[in-house]
């Protein structure tokens, strides 16, 4: 008996799912609808981290082979800022032109027997759902399949829009690996995420803050034009600003327009005989390079569960949703600090010297011990720079809090008593103003308003990211001395080393002047 599947959208998620389902699901007949023509592909390249592709490669080697035969591979991330270049080795990554990947996935789907209907907007979901046993919405961020489900009953779809503006180009300049190029124009700070995707082309994504974007007049493009036309005024502005970094090469447009990244989270991914996958249900900021990977992993998981459930569609879809929601949530949580970094990079660019700025970026989600495992030279140069400036290692350097000077920068805080100690002395209670960070970034403004005008603050509560953001506001904008409290439950046993490393990272990256541990305090 045949099992008829309609897939909406021939992005990486839809194509990969259709292929594996057609190949592995007994009796499957798969029809894939794609509104674009076969040769249309928006965007330039996609990056993948070497470490994360096992699940996809096991299902089908198409991506591994594509990266090997057509992609570019590197081990180093570079930051170029203020005339200096700082590298972070040991980060194996590969990138490929999105168009090449899609072509290979299309060929693969055809070989597996998928019926590919290009130039075909999918019929209404109700119609598909009546005529097929399963409908898979792999139709990207503006998914009509998701909208259809939501119309019937809420599916808990949340969208958070970043304030930073980004635009996507290519360039014939070949970056050596993943390169972050920072420049200040008379209007404000700009940054490029550049990486090679073939022998002749690199991806060139530019970010800036909304104020800079408007001051530079980059908001003049008529966004009501249909997809296709690119913002050539912005292209000219950025070609000039980054001319020396790309050796006068041109920027290549492809539907290049400014946008604001939208992080999407969805509570319900499946209903009846309809399942959503990829960008239709979740996105994570592109700086962590996981969107395509997540869409392809969803595809593997959905196809696997269908095979495993042996005809029990409801069980297959429920398990798929359970398994993938957990995994995607982990990636989205990890993407949070990275997205936040890009929301604030202009401030870091202005306030931090080039090496500290680079380390601040590299340590968005890993501490200095883990940086040292991958790149001992980078960790040593950051520690040496501190030593040269202060004469002692970061955590052994005294800091002035109110009228007292501590013996070092790893302190302990007792939330119940409100007392702070440097291990040798109890510090007077007026040494710091104690502030609680909010749980949610949206509530930061109120916490910022409560910062004192001078002295030292101790920031506890909230979340890891909000504590850091409040501390940076205190240090970088107000010139206050700031102590961040980190979770003391993690100082037990062999986690002690991890806490020292976390504290050292916060101090070396200038996220905080000192760190305190304290049970229940963070
Ligand atoms: C600036 C930027 C940089 C990125 N960089 C990376 C990166 O380096 N690495 C990475 O892994 N990811 C990256 N991503 C994310 C990645 O592009 C997406 O996560 C990925 O393409 C999602 O795949 P998908 O198959 O779910 O959807 P998509 O690739 O969006 O495909 C959806 C398809 O559905 C089609 N469609 C929509 N509606 C209909 C309809 N009604 N009928 C028929 N067809 C329809 C669309 O035409 C489209 O072809 C980046 C994203 C952005 C914005």
Q: Identify which of 49, 126, 286 to mutate to test ligand 1's pocket (most ligand atoms within 8 A of the CB).
A: 286
Q: What is the pLDDT of residue 492?
A: 45
Q: How does pLDDT run across 198-211, given as a tens digit for each residue?
A: 999 999 999 999 99
Q: Is the pLDDT of residue 493 over 50?
A: no
DSSP alpha helices (H): ranges in 262-312?
A: 291-309
Q: What percent of the chain has pLDDT over 70?
A: 97
Q: How does pLDDT run across 367-401, given as a tens digit for each residue?
A: 999 999 999 999 999 999 999 999 999 999 999 99
Q: What angle do CA 490, 494, 500 make, to 5 degrees?
A: 60
Q: How does pLDDT run across 48-97, given as a tens digit for each residue?
A: 988 778 889 999 999 999 999 999 999 999 999 999 999 999 999 999 99
Q: What is the pLDDT of residue 490?
A: 52
Q: What is the pLDDT of residue 466?
A: 94
158's enclosing H/E stretch is: strand 157-161
Q: What is the pLDDT of residue 521?
A: 45
Q: Is 79 helix (H, G, I), strand (E, B) or coil?
A: strand
For residue 122, list its beta bridge partners: none
Question: Which residue bears the tokens 């595809």?
Answer: 299
Burial (CB count within 10 angstroms: exposed 0-12, middle 13-18, buried 19+), residue 442: exposed
Distance 140 CA to ligand 1 centre (A): 5
Question: Which residue bears the tokens 């020396």?
Answer: 244
Q: Is the pLDDT of residue 327 over 90?
A: yes
- Identify the residues whose C-beta falls under 6 Å from ligand 1: 8-14, 33-36, 43, 46-47, 121-122, 138-140, 144, 166, 168, 205, 278-279, 286, 289-293, 295
């Amino acid at each position: 008996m045949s099992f008829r599947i309609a897939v909406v959208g021939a992005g990486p998620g839809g194509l990969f799912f259709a292929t594996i389902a057609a190949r592995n699901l007994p009796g499957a007949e798969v029809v894939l609808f794609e509104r674009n023509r076969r040769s249309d592909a928006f965007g330039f390249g996609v990056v993948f981290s070497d470490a994360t592709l096992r699940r996809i490669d096991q299902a089908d080697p198409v991506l591994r082979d594509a990266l090997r035969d057509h992609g570019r591979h590197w081990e180093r991330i570079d930051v170029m800022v203020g005339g200096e270049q700082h590298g972070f080795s040991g980060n194996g990554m590969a990138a490929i032109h999105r168009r090449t990947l899609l072509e290979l996935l299309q060929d693969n789907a055809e070989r597996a027997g998928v019926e590919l209907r290009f130039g075909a907007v999918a019929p209404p979901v109700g119609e598909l759902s009546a005529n097929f046993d399963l409908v898979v919405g792999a139709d990207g961020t503006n998914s009509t399949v998701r909208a259809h489900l939501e119309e019937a009953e809420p599916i808990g779809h949340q969208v958070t829009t970043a304030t930073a503006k980004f635009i996507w180009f290519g360039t014939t300049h070949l970056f050596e690996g993943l390169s972050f190029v920072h420049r200040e124009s008379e209007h404000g700070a700009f940054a490029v995420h550049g990486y090679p995707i073939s022998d002749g082309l690199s991806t060139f994504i530019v970010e800036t803050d909304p104020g800079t974007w408007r001051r530079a007049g980059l908001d003049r493009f008529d966004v009501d034009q249909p997809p296709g036309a690119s913002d050539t005024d912005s292209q000219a502005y950025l070609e000039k600003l980054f001319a020396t970094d790309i050796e006068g090469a041109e920027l290549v447009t492809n539907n290049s327009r400014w946008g604001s990244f939208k992080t999407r989270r969805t509570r319900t991914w499946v209903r009846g005989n309809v399942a959503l996958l990829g960008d239709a249900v979740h996105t994570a900021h592109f700086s962590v390079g996981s969107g395509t990977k997540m869409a392809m992993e969803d595809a593997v998981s959905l196809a696997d569960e269908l095979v495993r459930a042996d005809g029990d569609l409801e069980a297959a879809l429920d398990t798929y949703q359970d398994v993938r929601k957990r995994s995607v949530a982990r990636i989205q949580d990890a993407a949070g600090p990275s997205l936040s970094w890009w929301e604030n990079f202009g401030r870091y660019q202005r306030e931090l010297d080039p090496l500290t700025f680079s380390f601040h970026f590299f340590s968005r989600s890993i501490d200095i011990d883990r940086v040292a495992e991958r790149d001992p030279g980078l960790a040593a140069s950051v520690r040496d720079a501190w030593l040269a400036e202060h004469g002692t290692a970061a955590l052994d350097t005294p800091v002035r809090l109110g009228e007292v000077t501590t013996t070092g920068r790893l302190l302990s805080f007792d939330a119940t008593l409100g007392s702070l100690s440097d291990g040798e002395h109890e510090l007077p209670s007026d040494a710091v103003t104690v502030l609680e960070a909010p749980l949610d970034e949206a509530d930061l403004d109120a916490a910022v308003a409560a910062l004192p005008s001078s002295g030292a603050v101790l920031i506890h509560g909230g979340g890891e990211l909000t504590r850091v953001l409040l501390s940076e506001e205190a240090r970088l904008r107000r010139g206050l001395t700031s102590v961040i409290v980190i979770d003391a439950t993690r100082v037990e046993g062999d986690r002690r080393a991890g806490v020292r490393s976390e504290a050292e990272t916060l101090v070396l990256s200038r996220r905080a002047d000192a760190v305190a541990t304290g049970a229940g305090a963070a």
